[in-house]
Amino acid sequence: MEKNLVIVESPAKAKTISKYLDNTYIVRASMGHVSDLPKNDLGIDVENNFQPTYEISKEKVKLVNELKREAKDATKIWIATDEDREGEAIAWHIMNSLKIKKDEYERIAFHEITKDAILKAIKNPRKINLDLVDAQQARRVIDRLVGYKLSPMLWRKVQKGLSAGRVQSVAVRILVEREEEIRAFKSAEYWKIKGAVQNTQQRKFSVLLEKIGKKKVEFQSEEDVKKALDKALGSVDYVPIKSEKSQKDYLNLNCVFSGKKELIVSSLTKKTVKKSPAPPFTTSTLQQEAHRKFGFPVASTMSLAQQLYEGIDLDGGRVGLITYMRTDSVNLAEESLVQMKEFIGKQFGEKYTVSSARKYKNQSKGAQEAHEAIRPVNISVIPDQLKDQLNPSQLKLYTLIWKRTIATQMQEAILENTEVKLELVNNRDYIFAASGQIIKFDGFMKLYIEDSDDEEEEEESLLPSMNEGDVLDLLSLNALQNFTKPPARYTEASLVKKLESEGIGRPSTYAPTISTIVNRGYVEKEKKHLIPTDLAFVVNKFLCEYFSDIVDYKFTAKMEESFDEVAEGKQKWVEIVQKFYGPFAERLDDTSKTAKKYAEETEQICPECKNKLVIRMSRYGKFLSCSGFPNCKYTAKIEGQAATGEQTPKEPDVETGEICPTCNKPLVTKSGRFGKFIACSDYPQCKYTKKTINVVKEAGCPKCKGNIVEKKTRKGKLFFGCANYPKCDFAVWKKEDLDDEENKPAV
């Protein structure tokens, strides 16, 4: 009997594909790459055209031997790895590791895991595309050269254990430069005057003072505001009012005026505009939107998308729900466009369908036109049908992809934008403005609206009906204090957007890049923002000074273009590596000789040898060290180091009134790396410390009337629990839940 061996990357993919093939096919998973460059050696012969040495990793030896035995008995071997450069490289490594001859295998690829797609691929096999393999190899070799040659330089010149990377170091630079902008930013005060207006039908809306005469208002102080309003309204009293949520740290004044004040509508402009739906998802836009809407980390989005692509066990069997998730193309297959038109007509009505399919132009220079955007495999599989079969995160991502895809083929939304100018009746120089939006036809917005990166974006209000010459009542005026804000820190979504706009990296690199810079201590996450650490500043400064091209945006983007040209057969991979490595090797040699080990000078004096102290780096952050090292090995902590890396005065120890049980000296409250703690005042001679307990509610436990104290889980998450644990297990996540009579144990 004929025996066909199909080799894919993952067990999940193998399980789904097996469903669509008959019993003459055996599907096996390679578990990703079966061979790679050695872990503990460069593995590249720089003297011999940069030839790489690939080896089968220890954990893959058994698997490779099993695949060899299967391949030996097979009539034909089908290599069905993913349809991208990485997938092509995996296919090439499988062929070489299993010693498969050219006439013994067929290469098949498909954009979706469906029966039709797989059978079509089997009818149209090809051989491995060596240009794609070479493009991946060029990237792998250059990244290995940068990592293995530049990282040891950082070890010697900054601190041990550091790493550098062709894409990761540029990502760190982007974050550091934004943080430097934030630190250099000087906030400026400004004021807005906001009014509440009512029309003749008792409908209220808000207006802003826009101009006085022909000059746009620019109030820079409370005094400016009072001067302008006193002139316009006569005698005005100013009463501080409770701030709006968005203005909680600022001063708000209620401007109380006497007598009736009116505004006249001086102009009214209505403009009908059409709004088109966003393109279907590429890898990067899916990562961005999933982060905006759900807060998903980029790596989590890719993991969920992989699951949806490779197949989910549903009631009707195992099904791949979306097309391939690593793509920079916005093309949609013709058959999917036909299916969507029919679905939209039935589901929403013919007025929501487009007369001819809407097609989008690829923005990415290297986008492969033959590939597709990320879309549902079958539009008729609606999210509601999967509520009990997908986990919540899978369902959210599938729903997002499903809605976005269908929206691309729905009619444009028709909006009416209204802008109105109003003048103060008793002083026509004072001009107020308001704007609003009316949805005349919702179109695609009936199903999907794209989120924005702009955290301060304000929604336009719905304005009541009015005409030029209408006189409206001015009900109230508020003067709102504001301050200009620095640029926002990057989130994972906005960093991906920045990397893509600069042409840095490719869709498959964004998730591992972000994970790497976080895991290696260059970046910390604060809520959804990415904040560079002191280490990031130090390493970025070193790389910018000595290896400026490695962290140069244009250089990195141009390198990506070179890889694209290799994939297209326009360049040889060895030529790309040679052109890069020559200058790089020279700089490595020069830097090794000329660059000094990182140290920031201070004015402090070493207490042991009287040399100046300097600030150096360690894996735990900055510390003080003697400039006479290694002759003098004095070191000290930088007490109270701020997030910016600047030194702040050490907080003084405060006596608690208690006595140390070890040496009878007073106990004091000290400040350390992890906050305040109680210790013996005779430290370091006596190392006694006392665990502090923060009581948040005395006798507050509803179970045993014990004290409620702050606690933390093993992962550091704060919660509030009974001090009598383990006798009493009462706990809640939120402090406000302590006042809830029906609260129950949460942990």
φ/ψ of 417, rounded to 5, equals: -90, 130
* Token pair in block for residue 178: 């934004």
Measured CA to CA, the distance from residue 361 to residue 714 in angstroms comes to 49
Q: How far apart (Å, rounded) are the C-alpha atoms in residues 321 and 318?
A: 9
Q: How far apart are CA 119 and CA 141, in angstroms?
A: 36
Give the number of other Cβ atoms within 10 Å of residue 107's Cβ. 21
Q: How many CA atoms lie within 13 A of 342 on its CB side?
A: 9
Catalytic position from the list 324, 352, 430, 581: 324
User: Is residue 190 within 8 Å of 220, Cβ to Cβ?
Assistant: yes
- Who's near 142: CB < 8 A, 6+ residues apart? 166, 559, 576, 577, 580, 581
Phi and psi at residue 602, to the nearest 5°: -130, 175
- Please give the sequence-ordered ranges of beta strands (E in DSSP) within 504-649, or none if there are none: 523-526, 529-532, 600-605, 612-618, 621-626, 635-637
Residue 734 DSSP label: S
**Residue 324 designated active-site:** yes
Q: How many CB atoms lie within 10 A of CB 499?
A: 25
Closest C-alpha among 491, 456, 529, 431 to residue 247 = 456
User: Could you tell me the strand order of the sheet in which 105-107 lies?
Assistant: 25-29, 4-8, 76-79, 105-107
- Other Cβ atoms within 10 Å of 125 Cβ, number: 15
Comparing CA positions, the residue from 564, 22, 709 lying closest to residue 6 is 22
487's tokens: 């640029």
Q: Which residues are catalytic, by number?
A: 324
